[in-house]
Amino acid sequence: MLKETFLLDDLPKLQPDQVGLAVLGHPIKHSISPEIHTAALKVLADSSEEFSRWSYHKIEVEPASLAKALPILADHGYRGLNLTIPHKVDVLPHLSLMDEQARIMGAVNTLSWENGAWKGYNTDGIGLSKAIEDAFTISLKEFQVIVLGAGGAARAAVAQCIFEGCEKVAIYNRSIDRAQLLSSALKENELNQEVLLLESFLNPFAGSKEPVLIINATSLGLKSEDPSPVDLTQVDGNFYVYDMVYNPAVTRLMTEAKKKSYPVANGLGMLVGQAARSLEIWSGREVSIEAMSEAARAAISR
């Protein structure tokens, strides 16, 4: 039985009949992806014995080591990888194969070893869309959206909003230059819908009757001492708040939103949704959302 978390330098080679899956990040300690995937793999193994030889781990990979890590992981028997902060955009120059939607998004969160090379996918957008509808009983396309952040998670969020037909989308990031780079990158990748770039946090849709969804796609909230990425006391509106952070289960942003009676949800539903799609890509099988969700809730409660 392999341990759950590795550094790249202490990663053992798997046996020929084993299949390794992993999430790569820096930091990676907070991730509960192994618990989620292991639960679904157990269900798959009940109907097909081959999946009893599949395992999922956390691997700490610093940004400077990502290019080196990919061939090492393939050589050691890994066939499926999830990528989290800060690798979702940094991995792009190292891929020769990419799913069309991931190419347009300009960010990758899933790698699959196919025909002797890593192929990039993005399952974040699908996971986000389903999680929002499950949490608020309102589909993503019915919202006007403010995305906080300008990294890989924000790219996926903005792109998914455009894919699904959200009429109005805005980006707020502490660095307006990074927000402009994100907007430009999406246009270069054929997403030509105009996206508002906010130099300060405000409600650009004030006066509209449509609900406004705030999506936190920054890493602020991963630590319990983190401040909220925005000051909700400075704005008013028909807001809903979706925080991609799932651990801790309640972030400062969510606490502030609750004080103003805004509906809130954390990123657990998105995590499960994107994880399920990733495992479907790797296994070619339908996976148990129920098992994954139960495992995620149990991991968070611990």
Residue 62 pLDDT more than 90? yes
Coil, strand or helix: which one is 137?
Answer: coil
**Residue carrying structure tokens 């799932």:** 246
Are 112 and 119 in contact, with CB atoms under 8 Å apart? yes
Q: 5-122+270-301 is classed in which CATH architecture? A: 3-Layer(aba) Sandwich (3.40)
Cis check for the bond before 248: say yes or no (omega within 30 of 0).
yes
As a CATH number, domain 125-266 is 3.40.50.720
88 tagged catalytic: yes
Q: How confident is the model over 145-173, as pLDDT tens digits?
A: 999 999 888 988 999 999 999 999 999 99
Beta bridge partners of 119: 97, 112
The chain-wide mean pLDDT, for the chain, equals: 93
pLDDT at res. 24: 97
pTM of the model: 0.87
pLDDT bracket for residue 89 (50, 70, 90): confident
Domain ranges of the chain: 5-122+270-301, 125-266
Bridge partners for 24 per DSSP: 59, 83
For residue 117 the two structure tokens come to 């090379």
pLDDT above 70 (res 287): yes
Asked if the model's pLDDT at residue 1 lies above 70, the reply is: no
Q: Determine the pLDDT at residue 169.
A: 97
Is the model's pLDDT at 3 over the cut of 70? Answer: no
Reported as type and span, the H/E element at residue 118 is: strand 117-121
Q: Do the first three CATH levels of 5-122+270-301 and 125-266 match, i.e. the same topology?
A: yes
Nearest to 109, CA basis, from 273, 297, 292: 273
**pLDDT score recorded for residue 2:** 47
Q: Which two tokens stand for residue 227?
A: 């401040």
Annotated catalytic residue, options 3, 13, 68, 88: 88
Asked if residues 235 and 252 have their Cβ atoms less than 8 Å apart, the reply is: no
Q: Which two tokens stand for residue 86?
A: 């800060």
